[in-house]
Amino acid sequence: MSNLEYDKLYDELVRLEKETGIVLANSPTVNVGYEVLSELPKQPHPSPMLSLDKTKEVSVLADWLGSHEGVLSWKLDGLTVVLTYENGELLNAVTRGNGEIGEVITNNARTFENLPRRIPYKGNLVIRGEAVIKYSDFNKMNDELADAEGKYKNPRNLCSGSVRQLNNEITAKRHVNFYAFSMVADVLSDDQISESGFDNTMTGRFSWLAKQGFDVVEHYIVTGNTLEEQVMEFANKISENDVPSDGLVLSFNDIAYGKSLGTTAKFPRDSIAFKWADELAETTLLSVEWSPSRTGLINPVAIFSPVELEGTTVSRASLHNVSILRALRLGLNDRITVYKANMIIPQVAENLTGSDNLEIPGRCPACDGETTLQDENGVQVLYCKNPDCPAKQIKGFAHFVSRNAMNIEGLSEATLEKFIDRGFIHTFSDLFHLDRYKDDIVEMEGFGEKSYDNLIASIEAARTVSMAKFIYSLGIAGIGLANAKVIVSHFNGDFNEIVNAEADELTSIDGIGEVLAKAFYEFFRDERKKGVIEELLKEINFEKEEERGEQTLKDKVFVITGSVEKFTNRNELKDYIEKLGGKVTGSVSNNTDYLINNDVTSGSSKNKKARELNIPILSEDDFMKLAEG
């Protein structure tokens, strides 16, 4: 369900409860959040974490603030976390959970990129904030995933999963940041203010937290006269803001006054949330495009007459699955309303006509093979049953040749499609015999002798590959390059043991759960896939351990930041470190041995942490001396 639809239903429920005077025991207007189902340890909060009342009208904000001074800040879109510090050390980190009981994620919080492990203040400190993944980091992570089906859906979901990992090494690689938005502290006396250094205003406490080393949520002082202008200032920043948000929060700057107002059963009265009023546009549904993927999943996409939304022209929106398409009762030429979720992602909001005459295709649009509807946790999805579907082939080949897999340059999806159409390639192993079609390829549009020579050279270079990249290239559901490396390491590079591993043994590997283990196990039990692998093994050689050089960096932990000069990119440097026995993580911690940054003297957060922990900061020149022994 979209936020727009949920908010609409929630507002209707509030109205009905006021009209009838009846509030059911399980109403979302009196219960905060849901049950915690994670296997992480659970811990009650000292006081309930209530959600905020909300509005989409600036006038309601102004009436709420009245003549008081307020603080307006981003409402960040991530996962709320409560941190406890004692004697200057991070003691505990707990998620919001259901508002009363959260999950203990202390080890994961210690990997947050900008979170101070130690602070100058030695008293007891409890603060609340939002763990988020920035759009820039989210996009980089998705860019490194060749498989479209494996790409992360949005920063919020990725952050929630990252913060609640059982293995904090995974969290460290996800570039999670923390932004403080409040302190859990009573109103202080003058003596306490003098002793602690923070006062009884929101802005005063924000300033004090910043001095302790915390990033605080962006905020501004407002009054009734300046509120609307500041809301517009925030709105103008949305398209360029790197930190995900889904609205604003208005609080009384005077903490004592805010606390004196008390709370309702669900909401505190010292703050209120402002949700952006989604800009809706009415248009006509022209068609529904069914888009096949490498896994066989066929996703519906709404195509409609172009409309302007949030400053851009929009003409298509994903419908996600068959259940959503049917719930909207869509039909051709229906009048629909569309919007951008969080002012970014196009969505269909409502069907004003409801003709409900769309047929679910019984044949795949890519291969004309038979399709099937499947139920996945109560959601209907459409799949192509044909294992030889060209859409599956093209996506599969694209993944196989991608940079983090076999790394064969010159084979875009468009080129692969042409090669498949002309019968040059049917299986992965055919890629290593494209020299049979030299004359045809040289004559193809966009090719020539030089392009052909470059392609063949790249193919020959790919004949020697790391075992982990080869396993990743096969496109096993859920198995990324990092998982593949862990599996190869666990079995000491014995490929025969890897392909014959039982699911139970795979689940004993850190980071490999039952779902991944089952997918891995079943992949290598498929006779057809085994045949593909056997043919590939005739074409390639695995890098031998002795070819990786002396293990001069064995068991050393590195963090890389900033630009690199001696390597193509940071991934290449990471591969080099791993070949020499080292390990690369995403954030500086007590476990880090070296930070690599060509700007050794910079004041970046990673450099600052490294200095605090007495961790050497190396330029690439320094690193190369270390690596060479």
Active-site positions read 75
Helix (H) or strand (E) holding 169: helix 168-172
Distance (Å, rounded) from C-alpha 425 to C-alpha 434?
Answer: 8
Which amino acid makes up residue 621? D
Sign of CA dihedral 97, 103, 108, 113: positive
Sign of CA dihedral 570, 576, 577, 581: positive
CA angle 120/124/127 to nearest 5° reads 85
Cβ atoms of residues 561 and 597 within 8 Å: yes
Non-local CB neighbours of 524 within 8 Å, separated by 6+ positions: 499, 500, 501, 530, 533
Distance (Å, rounded) from C-alpha 420 to C-alpha 261?
Answer: 69
Distance (Å, rounded) from C-alpha 70 to C-alpha 351?
Answer: 40
Which amino acid makes up residue 159? C
The one-character DSSP state at 509 is S
Antiparallel, parallel or unpaired: β 617-618 and 594-596: parallel
Q: Which two tokens stand for residue 386?
A: 């044909």
CA angle 109/161/492 to nearest 5° reads 85
Distance (Å, rounded) from C-alpha 26 to C-alpha 34?
Answer: 11
With left for phi above 0 and alpha for psi between -120 and 50, is residue 423 left, alpha or beta?
A: left
CA angle 220/223/227 to nearest 5° reads 70
